Chain A
């Protein structure tokens, strides 16, 4: 079982928005949906490295701010005609705090 790290209060992340967590191997974007689910994935678009944390969050998807690829927050998979995926990390809410799985600290697929 992986450990979870308390990273922020839920309200530090805007609804339909994201905040970034710095890790040794790059930034992780932590998203909050309209209905207060949280998701985390690497903050790097597989297309040309766009910061996904700056994308528009709609439903449980995010649209990359640079060229509009859309990713599913739960699976990290690119939607529609585009193909590619982003590494996701477990995240959950407990008592108004956002917890992020420490797997995000381990080495990532290059």
Chain B
């Protein structure tokens, strides 16, 4: 004879158990299934997509009427069980009793309601079943106001769902950050920021005092006096096991219905299953362990040995576009260690918690691709000591070394976009390489990939490396310095994209690994910021190398050199006299004519700098910036004014250019030369920017070098008038300022981005003008003499205290 199996609760756990039973032994039981909800088993997890409108109820039904009918299940839906008569083995609903041989209690949980005034007002709902979901859908019309109390998993899914339907949603959370049970504060912060971007207001540390309203909910009042108007309030502050029936029946109940490893209660005929149970002191709120219970209970009921062993659970928040993963345990405890990875630029945060040699918890935000892999490590409890150094980078780096750094690129489909500027996809690059383009330059020429801003160069090279294999040797692009994993190019891009306007903001938001940066990144950041935000950013003197901080070149003995500007290499007797006077007055040991057509006063003491500057200022001279990553000199030749071969006023143009460009900061030093004819007496063709005057106009060439490397310039454009030459040069300078990496001279940068791209920018009249305009905007701030400014505070240049006089020492010491 078939046994009579009665099940109370047609939820996710019992549904799974029935599937196992019917699969293993279709004829073992006559099943009666009670459910308080007027429906059978559906996927409760998916209520959130139903709420947000991404799914319909019909799509989330697990077992429909047909399923139950085929298995002969007596469905008593909408018929809550009100009593269990253990002595006679009968359960009762209001419709009468049903006898059982075996009874399964799978009543799930009941939402916990805050015991505040107004909690029973119409318009206050929990988030547990389809009715609650429907109430929220009905209320969440565009413009309606909804308040969600509780910033945990459920509350946030409710909030996001209603927000997706156009409601104005406020989340009130008691704790300091959202989802504090699954997330640590850093991940909570990222989550809050993402929700706020969707228009959801988040109020943390908010304690609800009362729900206000007369016939219906109208507002929520907090302890701190804040009120939020509300057409609907969803309370999602927690759940507790639904144990009322079990309690009344005198079964052993702690926080939940107590069950053994076999899911048996203290009554051998009665079993517990799902969120309503307590197993070895533990409660359950996620489905994964419940499914394990269902399997064990099915086996138990069918007389097979099985034991329930709780497994670790992992959480993902089901809000489209929010990537969050948390698993295991991450409470602070002695003996636990953290490994943290941040990439705030991408909104990525990962934290692993280690105890001894095991991984016991993981929190990930923004990039959860490796979640499953970490989760597996947590579940197996394997020794991760050997992987520790690279553990946080996930499976791609497992084993202590990069398994294949190209894997991520290899995994991209052919249509994945590599170069954003030119819309070049991976497939196009692979094709170009197959067609014979084996160098970066060639790929650029054929596809235009990385031919614009150049920031995708690394990716393009990886695609090439994949296609060419060992034959390809990419140009290295290491991170800026040991303080960050970002390259210079990425940092520049992120500063602009994220409107970062101070060094601390960059370090915070881009996840600097050191607290104050280093001598290598700080000057670079200072330059990038002042270049991108001339009006908002204040130059940080302490982030400059000594020469730029002191506006003079430091010498090997700690003295300084002073080089006043001599515009275009032209001077006057008055200037020469002032220089001579200063040299004598400050006992300058060496006066030298420089290779840059001006005069250098070498060996000046630091404390004399303000005074010598003042004297030179008084004679109308300004700093020559012989020390700066900025405009140095514009060398000229005599040109048409005196020279028998001169075609244009090269001296005059040089002076004008120097007056246009002086004071500007550039990625590295910038030197110009203007020659009056192709004989090139000003050596213009080995400068960063050189002008050769010809009968028909001006040949502007760029990217020369005559220092550590020697290289001839290449023609950028030829223009007819002096005004055009000035505009083209201002524009090119700005292009260099905005795009080059710190400390790269023009020729290095041009080699990276390609002269063709630079030319295209300068030849296009609109782009050229916009660049020249931006340069002029910046110059409105920076075309000033630093000497005049600094000389005003001579005290800053002297020792702060002088303890070399015995009297002072005695006086000061106590």
**Chain A contact residues, CB within 8 Å of chain B:** 3-8, 12-17, 19-24, 27, 30, 33-34, 48-51, 54-59, 63, 65-66, 68, 70, 100, 102, 104-105
Contact = CB atoms under 8 A, between A and B. Distances in A.
A58 B514 contact: yes
9 contacts: A5-B813, A21-B801, A22-B803, A23-B803, A27-B799, A30-B800, A58-B519, A65-B546, A68-B519
B435 interface: no
Contacts of A8: 800-801
B799 A16 contact: no
A20 B605 CA distance: 14
Interface of B: 514-519, 522-523, 541-546, 549-550, 554, 556-558, 799-804, 809, 812-814
B803 A33 contact: no
Given A48-B556, A65-B545, A65-B554, A58 B800 contact: no
B545 A15 contact: no
B813 A102 contact: yes
B804 A22 contact: yes
B518 A33 contact: no
A51 to B, nearest CB: 5
A50 B522 CA distance: 20
Contacts of B802: 21-22
Given A21-B803, A58-B522, A68-B519, 18 more contacts: A4-B814, A5-B803, A5-B812, A6-B812, A7-B801, A7-B803, A16-B542, A16-B543, A21-B801, A22-B799, A34-B515, A51-B558, A54-B558, A55-B519, A56-B545, A58-B514, A66-B554, A70-B519
A59 B519 contact: no
B804 A24 contact: yes
Given A5-B803, A49-B558, A63 B519 contact: yes
Contact of B558 (A22, A50, A100, A102): A50
Contacts of A19: 799-800
> Which 3 pairs, one residue from A and one from B, show the smallest C-beta to C-beta distance?
A63-B519, A19-B800, A65-B546
B799 A58 contact: no
B186 to A, nearest CB: 21
Nearest to A34: B516
Nearest to A12: B800
A100 B518 CA distance: 26
B286 to A, nearest CB: 43
A19 B550 CA distance: 13
Contacts of A34: 515-516
Contacts of B556: 48, 66
A14 B797 CA distance: 12
Nearest to A56: B519
B542 A14 contact: yes
Contacts of B543: 16, 56
Contact of B800 (A21, A48, A55, A104): A21
B523 to A, nearest CB: 7
B557 to A, nearest CB: 8
Contacts of A17: 541-542
Contacts of A100: 801
B541 to A, nearest CB: 7
Given A24-B804, A105-B809, A54 B550 contact: yes
B814 A54 contact: no
Contacts of A50: 558
Contacts of B519: 55-56, 58, 63, 68, 70
Nearest to A20: B799
B516 A21 contact: no
A34 B512 CA distance: 15
Contacts of A23: 803-804
Nearest to B813: A3
A21 B554 contact: no
A17 B557 CA distance: 20
B803 A14 contact: no
Given A5-B812, A56-B545, A16 B516 contact: yes
Nearest to A27: B799
A56 B542 contact: yes
